[in-house]
Structure 1
Amino acid sequence: MKMNLSCCLYLAMAFFSGPATIFALAPENEVTLHPTTWLGENKITAVHLPKGRTRRLYFTLKKKADLMSVTVSPCAVPIEWSLAVRTLKDKPPKKSHWTSKKSMPEVWWKGSGREVKIYTYTGNAVDTYTGPAYAPASIYILRLKSNERDTQVSAYLHEGPGPSGVFPELPPDPRVHTLGVGMTSVTLSWAPSSSVVVEEGQRGNRPYYEYCVLVNPKHNHRSLCAVREGSKKDENEQMRPGKELKKDWWWHQPDTPEDNESSSALWDNFEDPGCVCKDTESVCTVSDLLPDTQYYFDVFVVDKVNGTSVPYTGTFARTHEEARPAVTPLREGQVKWVNLNGDASSQNGERSFRFKPRGWQQNGLLTMHTCNGTGKVKVTVSTKGQELTTQEVGHELAQIWLHGGPSYLIQLQASHSDKSRFCLRMQASSAYHRRAVPVFPAMLQIKSFNRLRTCNSVTIAWMGTEERSLYCVYRRQIPHGSGKHSSTDRCLDPESRPASERVLCKYFQELDPRRAVTTAVISELDPGVLYVFDVYLMRRWGLPIKYHSKTLRTKSEC
């Protein structure tokens, strides 16, 4: 109890004895309750903004300063920043305990005065406030806040009239213009920066400024810091397990070693941002782009000495599509002969056709087969931009049912590496009443009967279908000693053969496919002569179906 009473008496004596006694109790290295950050003049200050928290920077102006400017450069996200001034009615005491810079704002908070907000901004662009200075006994408060996520911001204070000289200047028209667009390149131009023009006239050949062009397929950027952060984010996502590293950027650094060192602060950890620096040229051609792709282009004028940059107003452009072969109309029932080069990479290795069926049902039948060689053709059919089917077609007749659209795009592409030319035969016909492709015969072989073979006649048989169809038989005599025993060209249709080779035509139909066999007796032949017989299934829709050729010799003696 006595000890407590003595302590209270000591504190009371210290209080009434005056301020000097209290100041003597405070240590010289005492930290204030609210530490402050001061914004220095002509110095770029980096500030880390935690999400949702307001950071404050303070500064005062010299007595002779009548103008000031504050520049704030956000990074990857929009921020809110404001500038306020707090003035004192009475000058702060010269001899005061609160004279250190670290605790100077306490004088304004405790003294008589008022705070006035003089400027506010919200966005992600580099922004500058320029205005007159207030009373000399004033403190300025710069408040910064990010509501989206943690980010970095830089602030710069300049006192006095005129530009600071730290940031490059933009021309009156700061837009990036598109001079030309190609399939894999885009040419850009922009008005020269006045900083670059002045520097070229004063400093000789060694450039202190340069233009940097950035390209990416996502969006425009408002600062190089945003480009750096976006590049890091993309790299982190691409390096996740299960993802391959894919670079959408291209980059070219300056060639001079001194330039690399002078701009090291600006390009620190700035890897592969899709940038090309063109020194002081205001025209740039960006190449190695993908066809039919939209790209966004940004231009920055960079001060390589101070490590600062200012963006032009970016633009965007879409590269042209790859050159595609012309689309040829395919008329109703037209038999088309298409010559293709076996090399699919060549211009003659691809062909495109468009067919529009007749009738309200909009159905059609596409038939085709190759005529010579062993090559195959990749056939892709699409309508309304949607692919219906893709298949390979060889020497066997293929039937593709067309349904679901008013017109059809038929694309042919050689599917083998043999560079020899080969021929494809195709036809497209409207099918008004059909719901599916016509039925093929179960077998395309022609049979003969040796017991029924005579000196001037032979008997052949072939499989038909359950549909009523017309079958035509053709014969061709092989001269004695010619040695040509090859079959008839599979692309030689009945209309192309001489009328003298046609023997007969007959209709046939059998509802039971297992019994769908028909025969024909070919007479008026010469004894001991070799003949080639061909049978064609004549159809209303599609190409005729040709059976495999049959070679027979009549008897010499009967």
Structure 2
Amino acid sequence: MMTLYWCFCLAVALFSVPGAIVALAPENEVPLHPTTWLGENKVTSVHLPKGRARRLFFTLTKRADLMFVTVSPCAVPIEWSLAVRTLKDKPPKKPHWSSKKSMPELWWRGSGRDVRIYTYTGNAVDTYTGPAYAPASIYILRLKSNEQDTQVSAYLHEGPGPSGAFPELPSDPRVNTLGVGMTSVTLSWPPSSSVVFKNGHDGNRPYQEYCVLVNHKHNYRSLCAARDGIRNERQNVQKRERREKHGEAIPLAALKDWWWQQPDALEDHDSSLWDNFEDPGCVCRDVESVCTVSDLLPDTQYYFDVFVVDRVNGTSAAYTGTFARTHEEARPAVTSLREGQVKWVTLSGDASSQQGKQLFRFKPRGWQQNGLLTLHTCIGTSKVKVTISSKGRVLSSEEVGHQLAQIWLHGGPSYLIQLQALVPGSSSSSVSKTDSSKSKFSLKMQASSAYHRRDVPVFPATLQIKSFNKLRTCNSVTIAWMGTEERSLYCVYRRQIPLDSKDKNSSTGRCTDPESRPAKERVLCKYFQELNPRRAVTTAVIGGLDPGVAHVFDVYLMRRWGLPIKYHSKMVRTRSKC
């Protein structure tokens, strides 16, 4: 009964009051979306949620006969369209429904229909230019993003002529590459007519300028997209830093993919985005249309974008970007080592130069692919770093001093041998440039295949030669030296020192080969082997000498593989009276 009573009362109220139906519906209607008006000569930023359309409305003044609508997407493509709704009759000044309704709703209640006049889909800045419709018209700008949430800027300009809010691009807005080097790229682009050589808004520099962005990911179609890319890259670096739990500030080296010069007009948007970015060598506040980007990595592809930035209006225009690959570093020459070849190598003290670092390649014979590398420096204070690699993988790295060194080669079909000079007396750093001109290191090297060996040959316990005073006579001396447990050939060489010689250095250079000595200096050669290293001592009696004459004796351990091992020179004088 109560329900029937309320229905009866409502019917009486509706039919007894004229116009009640018309007044009731508008008073209780709520707009689904708030109305956003697009102001003239003002850049309006709009946030677009993914998949949801946003509408902006605007009207033109009676005297406007032409309009320009510019839409600038950010990082993703968008859909936008422009429609017009023209009334046959103007809306009443005092409508009979509530005055709380917005102006677009007045048009929706009048007669007329929507006419779509323009549609665009893409991620480039686009402008619609067209005539104005009847004065009693409302324009609807519809924006939608189907990929992700994004930002869009819209701008309205009435009347003929450029608006002046956006920088102007030339008819061919392409960035050209003038030159490419190993660590630098020179760019040029057609100048913009809006960037001129005159004092700008602040009285001392142009209010429009060029800015260059360099990265090795891709080109950007807008400044907003570039800003988002930098923000995302920085956030990714911060996440990696937090995962690694270093707790330190983000190192600048982690952002090597990005270089940016900060335009002042964009500092208010997000000043943190422009902090701590490297200077690419191009001044952002500049009016020159030529730029050289330096400090790049060799053999790396980079993408270059140029933007014209209006610092007063906070707008920008993007040129068509380009890309280039820097030249690769000059590779040093690689010298092939022949089987058993003795190679003399001279290195300068500057390891950064080609003379301070040399490369050799050796390919052993036989199916085992093993080899023995022997090196012997010829200056007492010099050191050389030897790095052995195969197929890009480092197998060993060690330093060679004044002692003869043997390196066993195994693990690859061929070997790349790099020799690098080091500072005398140091084990880690290269020679300074001030000393490089004075330092020249000489060494000899030999590589040979070893078919049956599984390890490098052993050295004698000592390379000293001992003479016995009690066994010294007027025409003979007795010397002894340590051998090894391997059967090897030992050769003794003798050199007489004249009585009138002023040379106080009686020793023979440690890099002097037996083959380079005169045949008359060789005294004897003998084979020796002792399985007990402590008893591996052999002796030789050298006769046929003159009384009271000093002689220098040298012993060489002759081997089938590797360089001969030279013992330290020993000077012995025969007795004058016997």
TM-score, normalization by structure 1? 0.81
Is 2:457 aligned against 1:457? Answer: no
Aligned to 1:42: 41
Is 2:446 aligned against 1:428? Answer: yes
Which residue of the other structure, out of 534, 537, 545, is the alignment partner of 2:565? 545
Residue 546 of structure 1, CA deviation? 1.3
Contact 2:363-2:413 within 8 A present in 1 as well: no
Aligned to 1:85: 83
Change (3 A) 1:535 1:84: same
Distance 1:397 1:109 in 2: 101
Distance 1:278 1:491 in 2: 63
Distance 2:494 2:81 in 1: 101
Aligned to 2:315: 308
Q: Deviations over 1:169-224 (max 9, x none)?
A: 22222111111223433211011224347999xxx996342222222344322222
Contact 1:32-1:103 within 8 A present in 2 as well: no
Give 2:121's aligned amino acid. Y
Distance 2:529 2:8 in 1: 127
Give 2:521's aligned amino acid. E
DSSP 3-state at the match of 2:229: helix
Distance 1:292 1:2 in 2: 88
The answer for unaligned runs of 5 or more in structure 1 is: 255-259
Aligned to 1:119: 119
Aligned to 2:174: 175
Q: Deviations over 1:114-136 (max 9, x none)?
A: 6758424143x333345566776
Residue 308 of structure 1, CA deviation? 1.2
Change (3 A) 1:423 1:495: farther
Change (3 A) 1:278 1:549: same
Contact 1:378-1:415 within 8 A present in 2 as well: no
Contact 2:364-2:413 within 8 A present in 1 as well: no
Distance 2:163 2:10 in 1: 57
Contact 2:212-2:260 within 8 A present in 1 as well: no
Residue 543 of structure 1, CA deviation? 1.7
Is 2:361 aligned against 1:355? Answer: yes
The answer for unaligned runs of 5 or more in structure 2 is: 425-430
Change (3 A) 1:162 1:385: farther
Change (3 A) 1:93 1:119: same
Q: Deviations over 1:6-52 (max 9, x none)?
A: 89737842564134797599889x96343122223332111123445
DSSP 3-state at the match of 1:104: helix
Greater Cα shift, 455-464 or 506-515: 506-515
Distance 2:103 2:11 in 1: 26
Is 2:551 aligned against 1:531? Answer: yes
| Mapping of residues 369-388 of structure 1, within 5 Å | 369-388=376-395
Contact 1:342-1:375 within 8 A present in 2 as well: no
Aligned to 2:186: 187
DSSP 3-state at the match of 1:195: coil
Change (3 A) 1:539 1:15: farther
Residue 475 of structure 1, CA deviation? 2.0
Give 1:537's aligned amino acid. L
Which residue of the other structure, out of 339, 352, 368, is the alignment partner of 2:346? 339
Distance 1:511 1:71 in 2: 94
Change (3 A) 1:21 1:353: closer
For the aligned residues, what is the CA RMSD? 4.2
Q: Deviations over 1:217-269 (max 9, x none)?
A: 44322222233333344444555452542054556568xxxxx5x77667855
DSSP 3-state at the match of 1:456: coil
Contact 1:357-1:430 within 8 A present in 2 as well: no
Distance 2:481 2:204 in 1: 90
Is 2:488 aligned against 1:469? Answer: yes
TM-score, normalization by structure 2? 0.79
Is 2:527 aligned against 1:507? Answer: yes
Which residue of the other structure, out of 481, 486, 510, is the alignment partner of 1:490? 510
| Mapping of residues 100-115 of structure 1, within 5 Å | 102=102, 104-105=104-105, 107-108=107-108, 113=113
DSSP 3-state at the match of 1:277: coil
Change (3 A) 1:433 1:92: farther
Greater Cα shift, 95-104 or 544-553: 95-104
Aligned to 1:408: 416
Aligned to 1:128: 127
Give 1:477's aligned amino acid. Q
Distance 1:79 1:321 in 2: 36
Give 2:509's aligned amino acid. D
Residue 140 of structure 1, CA deviation? 2.0
Distance 1:553 1:320 in 2: 65
DSSP 3-state at the match of 1:227: helix
Distance 1:108 1:286 in 2: 56
Contact 2:407-2:456 within 8 A present in 1 as well: no
Residue 431 of structure 1, CA deviation? 1.0
DSSP 3-state at the match of 1:229: helix
Distance 1:99 1:67 in 2: 31
Distance 2:168 2:98 in 1: 41
Distance 2:499 2:170 in 1: 92
Contact 2:557-2:566 within 8 A present in 1 as well: yes
Distance 2:11 2:568 in 1: 123
Q: Deviations over 1:446-504 (max 9, x none)?
A: 34455544443333343444544332111223445858365321111112222222111
Greater Cα shift, 527-536 or 40-49: 527-536
Change (3 A) 1:24 1:358: closer
Change (3 A) 1:98 1:171: farther
Change (3 A) 1:223 1:15: farther
Which residue of the other structure, out of 390, 399, 403, is the alignment partner of 2:406? 399
Q: Deviations over 1:277-322 (max 9, x none)?
A: 2533211122343444433221112233322111111122333445
Aligned to 1:257: none
| Mapping of residues 222-261 of structure 1, within 5 Å | 222-238=221-237, 240-241=241-242, 242=246, 244-246=250-252, 248=256
Aligned to 2:541: 521
Distance 2:540 2:197 in 1: 99
Aligned to 2:427: none
Aligned residues: 546
DSSP 3-state at the match of 1:495: helix
DSSP 3-state at the match of 2:36: coil
Change (3 A) 1:84 1:422: closer
Residue 392 of structure 1, CA deviation? 0.9
Which residue of the other structure, out of 294, 297, 306, is the alignment partner of 1:299? 306
Distance 1:198 1:171 in 2: 17
Residue 425 of structure 1, CA deviation? 1.6
